Amino acid sequence: MANPTAYDRLIDRFARIATINECASMLGWDAAAMMPSGGGAARGDQMAVLAGLAHAELTDRRTGDDLAEAEAVGEWQTANLTLMRHAYVRATALPADLVEAQARANSSCEKVWREARKASDFAQVRPYLEEVIRLTQQEAAALAPALGLSPYDALMDGNQRGVGAADVTPVFAAYEGFLATALPAAEERQARQPEPIRPQGPFSIVAQEALCRRLSERLGLDFTHARLDRSAHPFSGGTATDVRITTRYVESDFTQAVLAVVHETGHALYERGLPSDHARQPVGEAAGMAVHESQSLIVEMQACRSDAFLSWLGPELLATFGGDAEPYRPENLGRLWRRVERSFIRVEADEMTYPAHVILRFRLEQALMSGDLRAADLPGAWNEGMKALLGIVPPDDAQGCLQDIHWYDGAFGYFPSYTLGAMAAAQLMMAARRAVPDIDAALGRGDLSPLLGWLRVNVHAIGSRLGFNDLLRAATGKPLDPADFQAHLTARYLG
């Protein structure tokens, strides 16, 4: 371009930054899915260099000059420029040496966490976690004055912009009150029903993997732009044109693998549906992690655990694994996969008790960041919190404070997104059903396309032009309304 404007120069610079971050995303996927354990130290260096390069690009003086000069035309450009300026404020608040130190510490801690979880030995990873917490506290302290937020809200801002602890706290308190009465009532209703029949294994991992790929394709994921691999913790990563999803398999039960792939496919479909005209620009990215979780949960919980979809899935499972047909009947799958249970593991929790796991982590990470809770005291505080919320105590740290990767990889302020996403998913599904009356009939044929088509228009194609509540308002007519989630749970578990 002969005479690029300041905005044109910013477009180019942010595209370079996005490309660097794409490289880091691929290395992160490789570390979780492919890399041998001996590569951890070098990988930490690689991630640190990439983080430093992206930070340098973003904080370059010319970026600031162009942001001061740039003018935007139209809704998309205006939103993009606003997001660019926000990213610049965040980046310039952080010293480059802190950014690189965090990348190294997070990578090191995550590798040790893998072994500590296997051994259920929190002491093994504690010093590494202490370093991650120390650096994250420094990050929060640097970001807070620049953003005009509290330190913890500054961390939340990096995951779901515009949503802070003051927004989340009353929502979680209200849900805790709902759970106190709804959970015993659901358990009592469940006790009157026949016990679910568990399919009897072993279930070939090769057969599970083939099934998971077929199911993901059926839901709409194009594998010319995606991969399915294995990792210790299921996740979705990569880029919008090269999506990487993972799951984990056990021969004794295919449920974990299948439901994880359905969940991660929801994330992947969102990435694939983002506006390609704004690729590698802030406005073309996902609208935040709560929105991202809404897209995984509307696929997994709202669609694929519905009666309609299970009526299609049951015969598919029977054809794959054979044996007795009874466990694969849709009513039995419903009792099996929608069973309410006070359990230790968040990723295996039912949708009614799952928010309790998030509430616990929300409270603990605030205490860790404020210094009110030391890392050394985390296992005990975790167990006390689980007892208060669900009346159970983990027998070991592998089923307690070591179960999630997030804190050990430096992700603080992320957990609220899971439950905000579940609530948004229920709200979006209600709106989709009103707009597209044949959604459930299609799900009964294993066809997600009517729902996906509605999401493509009302969520995916919006990118991050709208924030969390504005996106919900545009799609459903109102900002987040937790009552829709409670209504969904009441209908499914108490009706």
Length of the chain: 495
CA atoms within 13 A on the CB side of 397: 22
Please, what is the Cα angle at 269 between 239 and 426, to 5 degrees?
130
Are 7 and 221 in contact, with CB atoms under 8 Å apart? no
Question: Are 109 and 129 contacting, i.e. CB atoms less than 8 angstroms apart?
Answer: yes
What's the CA gap between 263 and 314, in Å, rounded?
A: 18
Report how far Cα 107 is from the mean position of its chain's Cα atoms.
19
**Cα 266 to Cα 336: distance, rounded to the nearest angstrom:** 21
Gap between the terminal Cα atoms of the chain: 62
Q: Which residues does 464 contact at the CB level (< 8 Å), separation at least 6?
A: 79, 83, 282, 283, 284, 285, 286, 287, 288
Q: Which residue among the candidates 264, 293, 300, 351 is catalytic per the annotation? A: 264
Query: 432 with 456: CB under 8 angstroms?
Result: no
Q: Using CA atoms, how far apart are residues 490 and 495, in angstroms rounded to an integer?
A: 6
CB atoms closer than 10 angstroms to residue 76? 17
Local structure of 237: helix, strand or coil: strand
Give 277: exposed, middle or buried? Use CB within 10 Å, 0-12, 13-18, 19+.
exposed
Q: How far apart are CA 278 and CA 465, in angstroms?
A: 10
The answer to whether 417 and 290 have CB atoms below 8 angstroms apart is yes
Active site annotation includes 251: no
Q: Provide long-range contacts, Cβ within 8 A and 24+ apart, for 325-331.
A: 326/197, 327/197, 327/198, 327/199, 327/200, 328/199
Question: What burial class does residue 296 get, using C-beta atoms within 10 Å of its C-beta: 0-12 exposed, 13-18 middle, 19+ buried?
Answer: buried
Q: List the catalytic residues.
A: 264
